[in-house]
Amino acid sequence: MTELLQQVRVIDPVSEIDELFDVLIADGYIQAVASHISEINSDTQIRDCQGLVLGPGLVDLYSHSGEPGFEERETLLSLLQAAAAGGFTRVSILPDTSPVIDNPALVAQLQQKRRKEVREKEKINLAPPASPLPLLHLWGAITLNIAGKQMTELADLASAGVVGFSDGKPLENLALLRGVLEYVQPLGKPVAFWPSDRQLAANGVIREGPDALRLGLPPIPASAETTAIAAMLELVAAIGTPVHIMRVSTSRSVELIASAKAAGLPITASTTWMHLLLDTKAVKSYNTSLHLDPPLGNPSDVVALRAGVRAGVIDAIAIDHTPYSYEEKVQAFAEAPPGAIGFELALPLLWQYLVETEEFTALELWRALSTSPAECLGQKVSAIVPDQPAELTLFDPQQTWKVERKSLYTLSQNTPWLGQQLKGHVVQTWC
């Protein structure tokens, strides 16, 4: 099919472009980009795209899949459908499935499952119209059963095609951490860590501060994160292995990362989309979908994280999509498992509260959701120019919709925005 998108707002972080263009797409490739395209075939589908935004496909650094092991939370198909509906063309899954992705056989099994879902989707239209399923990348576990005790066969996992290595949970044994940094260096794969001192975090569920006192919830001090980051940075300085720091959530962490980057340490960092939008004040609702780990920051943390993303200190925004069943989340706040869904919500909400308020430019937000996450994974995203593959997201910032079961592709509904009316919706993705 050949499509002509007329007068669409093209946001291209690769070319640093934010302008109106006509874009011609055919056979999975961009054929032409110009201020006006008039020479087209008679069978070209013409779409008036005034008011719509076209950008590179969004890239998720890390999220959680229910399958295998917890298919009642999320299947691989529903996860990929939700990602496509949210504008994502590449999705990276953490290894905390059941069984854990700590061996080459499971890597092959999940990739084969994704190929099967693609073939099935070609027979029955289960995803949004004309939206193919995103590419699936898998993080390989650093330690066996992500238990933090014994390294996996990292070289075998690398040969099996994992996108990189991460347990997706804190690795507190510093001697083991040092050994991992030494071992992965020649493998040429990203390695991602979530720095958190679980002894300092203890049983906390909210960031330490005035709101924690008012709400009567056990607090987590910022030092639970910052001391772990400081220790990791010392090891990176000594060994030189590039490292990605996941789930940055405090203002002091942003300062530590900025100083480390200024000193030339080979690090990248990410925060999650919800940590950019909400702070501890939101927890007064005791909605268990606001129980996150790390917890939402204090207002000063949110300000620092936003500034960090704009400045490039925080390279990327991750979705960290974490599905749970209704029964798992209907508990007391402190007892409910931490995490929330996000694929179908992140772009509309970030655009509404960061771009429309003019705190972020459209280019800054799109870069943090597309090209920068890809770079953290050691990948590239093509510019929106002729002869490049059409890996694109078409977004309508003004379309309104209600967050409810029938409007979501994900199986789980653990989000604080459930039942609310949102502005901004993905129209189509091309993979």
Lateral strand order in the sheet of 267-272: 192-193, 243-245, 267-272, 316-318
- Rg (C-alpha) for the chain, rounded Å, is 21
- Residues near 63 by beta carbon (within 8 Å), at least 6 away in sequence: 79, 91, 92, 93, 94, 318, 319, 320, 321, 322, 342, 343
Given the residues 60, 301, 315, 320, select the one marked as catalytic.
320
Neighbours of 326 (CB within 10 A): 10
Cα 385 to Cα 3, 35, 51, 346, 393: the distances in Å are 15, 13, 21, 26, 14
CA torsion, points 414, 415, 420, 424, in degrees to nearest 10? -120
Per-residue pLDDT for the chain (431 aa), expressed as one digit of tens each?
899 999 999 999 999 999 999 999 999 999 999 999 988 888 899 999 999 999 999 999 999 999 999 999 999 999 999 999 999 999 999 999 999 999 999 999 999 988 887 777 666 554 444 468 999 999 999 999 999 999 999 999 999 999 999 999 999 999 999 999 999 999 999 999 999 999 999 999 999 999 999 999 999 999 999 999 999 999 999 999 999 999 999 999 999 999 999 999 999 999 999 999 999 999 999 999 999 999 999 999 999 999 999 999 999 999 999 999 999 999 999 999 999 999 999 999 999 999 999 999 999 999 999 999 999 999 999 999 999 999 999 999 999 999 999 999 999 999 999 999 999 999 999 98
The secondary structure of 133-155 as a DSSP string is PPEEEEEEPSBGGG-SSSB--HH
C-beta of residue 67 within 8 angstroms of C-beta of residue 76 = yes
Distances (CA, A) of 138 to 11, 54, 141, 282: 28, 27, 9, 33
Q: What does the DSSP 8-state code read for residue 186?
A: G
> Could you confirm whether 60 is annotated as catalytic?
no
Entry pTM: 0.96
C-alpha 269: how far from its chain's center? 12
